[in-house]
Amino acid sequence: MKLKSYVGGQWVEGNDSGREVLNAVTGESVCSVSSSGIDFGDVVRHARQKGGPALRKMTFHERANALKEIAKLLMAQKEEFYRISAWTGATRTDGWVDIEGGISTLFTYSSLVRRELPNETFLVEDDAQRLSAKGSFIGRHILVPKEGVAVHINAFNFPCWGMLEKIAPSLAAGMPVIVKPATVSAYLTEAMVRAIVDSRLLPEGAIQLVCGGVGDLLDRLDEQDVVTFTGSASTGQKLRTHPNIVANSIPFTMEADSLNCSILGETVEPGSAEFDLFIKEVAREMTVKAGQKCTAIRRAIVPRNRADAVADALSARLTKTTLGDPSVEGVRMGPLVGRDQVDDVWSQVDKLRESCELIHGGQREFDVVGADASKGAFFPTTLLYADQPLKADAPHSIEAFGPVSTLMAYDDIDQAIAIAKLGKGSLVGSIVTGDNREARDLVLGCASYHGRLLVLNADCAKESTGHGSPLPTLVHGGPGRAGGGEELGGLRAVKHYMQRTAIQGNPTTLTAITNEFNPGSEQITDAVHPFRKYFEDLQIGETLITHRRTVTEADIVNFGCLSGDHFYAHFDEIAAKDSMFGKRVAHGYFVISAAAGMFVEPSPGPVLANYGMENLRFVEPVGIGDTIQVRLTCKQKIKKDRRSEEEQPNGVVVWDVEVRNQEDTPVAIYNILTLVARKED
């Protein structure tokens, strides 16, 4: 069978025999893979001319809803993906991380975008910056989708998750994608992309798939495009220095395999909960996906006086890991992805043995359950030991990308940190200790060399996602050898596919551009109270100036009795006089409560509920006899999706609130959010 690519709106085969891909368990042929004959210029044009414009017309929320529907579709078909995943050598647990872990990333980004971003096609970032003395000239930052294509070149070990964790923020940002999976496991990626394409949940051109080589694809890119890469550091460095990428300053995000470490704290005793957690975590990272993870623990750094105990406990646990056909009951670890990978791992282990002692596994004769070791791509769990890791280069520079790890002895915390840094940059490190002071020293000592650090102890163990699990809301990446890039990290990843532009001008002009009220902008007033208007009828900049209210001693006393807040600055005349205020002052929360009473229109109407308050600052104190007045301005409107047919269509209105005193000086500034009814869906 020839595996097809999806380009230019159709499924196409390569026009040569291609590379044969084998079942990792049985050694039987799965398919042949080739991209020969594809015109990559046409592929890029299709994304730019079809997918990009269609996505950019959609709002953030519309794109997020599409991601949610895709996730639901893929979850409904997950058993088919599990069936195919087994051909890569993955156990059910391995497949869960790849398949359902990847799908959950779509759900996460859909929720995050709908919760945190406006229902707009662009994003306004940060507060307005005043650039002139009188305020007629200000600056803002906006982010708009790049008008190119995001090319995602993925590794073989996570054919589903690797794709989904990249396309989720790309599509959410409004940028079409070209997915290029690793050839040896491309058939699983193809199955998932086929389901997405068949669903028609995305505009044509929003997603394309290239199975096989990339040909001259990188030569076809320009300054509006983005390239991401996951894989070996050597391949990534070659791609990063591609002449066209360099010439056009094309953003290139690299996430490379790294020599990640786990450090056992000095204070951890054998038999303790933390000791057992360390053994379990190292063994799990060696055996999940047969150690074929960019985040796997390659270096287990342990106190010298615990080295023997760790070696014995870890060897005993690894011995219980049954190797074989993942479909057979009781098998805990499957094969590597292919025979080429087996040869590579043996080669790297041989190099490591030149400076490290073999203490578990590492023999070419081993038992396999339910399969033929000579046909499948099996490799035994292998553990080595470096007694003087500061003097040995190999375990810090050679990675055996399989179920292989090296124990390393340290004499004190400073030495443990120094050993960790010899990896020259890692995606993740973990620290296992029940001593918080020790954890602090290790984290602050290691952080500059790691993209992520897990601190594991008995208190968080039950809910911890583990050393090797990147999460959509946290950064995935690392310095140095790990590639120097960042993926995921919540909205950071979405912004990676957008252009941040500073805009400068008159406040009223910038309000018109951004659909967000800016200080100093023209204010709109009319006879109708803004709380009497439906969402559609409200205009950005619409302003209400309230009546005035003079604050009395009775106000302060009554609010203190009601709230129970009898702070000295409100009630003790002598102490208040000696304070920074110089007099008794009103409660800050009384000021904003009084302000609400001044601007709220109390009768039933389109305003459904108070939705929250943001960015509250008390600028000046309000004393007895001071007079306050409120300016309420419609700052931003965010249309919300209906959760059910019965729900009243509505949107969130952000109001800019400024409370001023009799000298026209601001005393409190903040935003309130109200839920306002819409006339129509």
Strands 650-660 and 666-677, bridge-based pairing: antiparallel
Q: Indicate if 294 belongs to the active site.
A: yes
Displacement of CA 34 from its chain's centroid (Å): 32
Q: Are 242 and 214 in contact (CB under 8 A)?
A: no
**Which residue of the set 31, 160, 294, 356 is catalytic?**
294
Rg of the chain, C-alpha, whole Å: 30
Q: Could you say which residues of the chain have pLDDT below 50?
A: none
Whole-model pTM?
0.88
Q: What confidence score (pLDDT) does residue 221 get?
A: 94
- Token digits of residue 613: 């308050």
Q: Is 3.40.605.10 the CATH number for 37-257+492-499?
A: yes
What single letter denotes the amino acid at residue 583?
K
By the 8 A CB rule, do 185 and 81 touch?
no
Strand 123-130 relative to strand 138-145: parallel, antiparallel, unpaired?
antiparallel
Q: Are 677 and 650 in contact (CB under 8 A)?
A: yes
Residue 527 is which amino acid? A
Whole-number pLDDT of residue 631: 94
Contact 158, 98 (CB under 8 A): yes
Largest Cα span, the chain = 92
Residue 625's pLDDT is 93
Burial 101-127 (b: 16+ CB within 10 A, else e): bbbbbbbbbbebbbeebbbbbbbbeee
User: Out of 13, 190, 255, 487, which one is annotated catalytic?
Assistant: 255
The DSSP-derived string for 297-336 is EEEEEEEGGGHHHHHHHHHHHHHT--BB-TTSTT--B---
Domain-wise residue ranges, the chain = 37-257+492-499, 260-471, 523-677
pLDDT given at position 158:
87
How far apart are alpha carbons 186 and 19 in whole angstroms?
11
The candidate with the shortest Cα–Cα distance to 323, out of 367, 292, 359, 293, is 367
The continuous run of DSSP H or E covering 123 comes out as strand 123-130
Strands 150-153 and 177-180 come out as parallel
Q: Which class does domain 523-677 fall in?
A: alpha beta
Rounded to 5 degrees, φ, ψ at 300 are -105, 105
pLDDT at 486: 85
Predicted confidence (pLDDT) per residue in 358-368, tens digit: 999 988 888 88
Q: How far is CA 639 from CA 173, 312, 395, in A?
A: 18, 60, 55
Cα–Cα separations (whole angstroms), residue 535 to 441, 565, 679: 53, 37, 8
CATH architecture assignment, domain 260-471 = 3-Layer(aba) Sandwich (3.40)
